[in-house]
Structure 1
């Protein structure tokens, strides 16, 4: 999945000469947490978060200086330089940036111009859809040898039952490089027949590991 498929193109921005008070107003009225700061060419030169604005705002015990501080230009508190991503970047790679840099959002730039923004909420929403947890389904985990061709071999068991696979994920099995775990979500509320077929085919189930069908 590409960034352009999940990014928000309706981005609230401000010039660097806007005041902190203006930023606070935009954050509150639009219920957002970040504002990219752009120049006259729509190039991203900074970013301001709601936390930046809160930290810059004076304490309620200093009412006399409040208005003066809030009239300072936003460029005095913005973070820069800004890490950006491209619309054709893969969402999985951008997720790594969020994790490594502990970001809550990243601007999306094409030809050095701002075209969108991706937030941590967008990433979480996308993860929910990629994993299929938003669809009523059953969850099955199968431990398999780490070898070529194993995925279609396991998937063929689902195919014989005409089970509709919602999503498939693959992750390592603990610290053992000889095995991996295949995580399937199938569109059925009764996975017992498929589970029995997987066991009969010799596959080890990690989840569910205690469900068996009726004995014949």
Structure 2
């Protein structure tokens, strides 16, 4: 999946000479958490979060505080330089940037111009879609040898039952490079016939296991 498939293109931006008060108004009006700061060429030169604005605003507990802080220019509190992504980047790859850098959003840039934004909420929803948990399905985990051809081999068991597979994930098995975990989501609320077929074929099921299987 590409970034352009999940990015939001309806964005609120501000120039660097806008005031903190203007940023606060946008954050409250549109219920957003980040505002890209752009110049006259629509180049991203900074980004401001709701936390940045909150930290720069007068404390509500200070009765003597004036409102002059809110008239400061937004460029005085914006974060820069800004890490950006391209619309043709893979979502799975930019997820690493979110994790490593602990970002909450990433501007999307093409030809040096801002065209969209991706937030951590967008990433979480995309993960839900990729794992198939957004549709009614049953979850099956299988420990298999790490060898070529194992995935279609296991999938053929589902095919014999004409069971629709909604998603497949592959995980490492602890620190053992000789095995992998295949995680299938299948579009049935009664997976037991397939589970029995898998066991009969000699596969080791991690979920459902012998104890929890009948509860699925």
Is there any run of 5+ residues in structure 2 with no aligned partner, and where?
none
Q: Which residue of 2 aligns with 1:89?
A: 89
The number of residue pairs the alignment matches comes to: 214
- Preserved CA contact (<8 Å) 1:199 1:205: yes
Q: Secondary structure at the match of 1:85?
A: coil
Partner of 2:30: 30
The 5-angstrom pairing of residues 103-114 of structure 1 reads 103-114=103-114
Kindly indicate whether residue 175 of structure 2 is the aligned counterpart of residue 179 of structure 1: no
Q: Which residue number in structure 1 is paired with residue 9 of structure 2?
A: 9
Deviations 1:49-84 (Å, cap 9, x if unpaired)?
000000001212445543211000000000000000
Counterparts in 2 of 1:142 and 1:213: CA distance versus 1, 3 Å: closer
Matched, 1:141 2:141: yes
After the TM superposition, which segments of 4 or more aligned residues of structure 1 sit over 6 Å from their partners?
Answer: 211-214
| Matched position secondary structure for 1:66 | coil
* TM alignment of 1:65-214, pairs within 5 A: 65-210=65-210
Alignment check: 8 A CA contact 1:142 1:203 kept? yes
Q: Which runs of 5+ in 1 are unaligned?
A: none
Cα distance in structure 2, aligned partners of 1:63 and 1:120: 36
Q: Could you say what secondary structure the match of 2:51 adopts? A: helix
**CA distance 1:161–1:61, change in 2 (3 Å):** closer
TM-score (norm 2): 0.96
RMSD of Structure 2 on Structure 1 (CA): 1.5
Normalising by structure 1, we get a TM-score of 0.96
CA distance in 2, matches of 1:48, 1:63: 26
Q: Provide the C-alpha distance between the structure 2 equivalents of 1:116 and 1:5, rounded to a whole number of angstroms.
A: 11
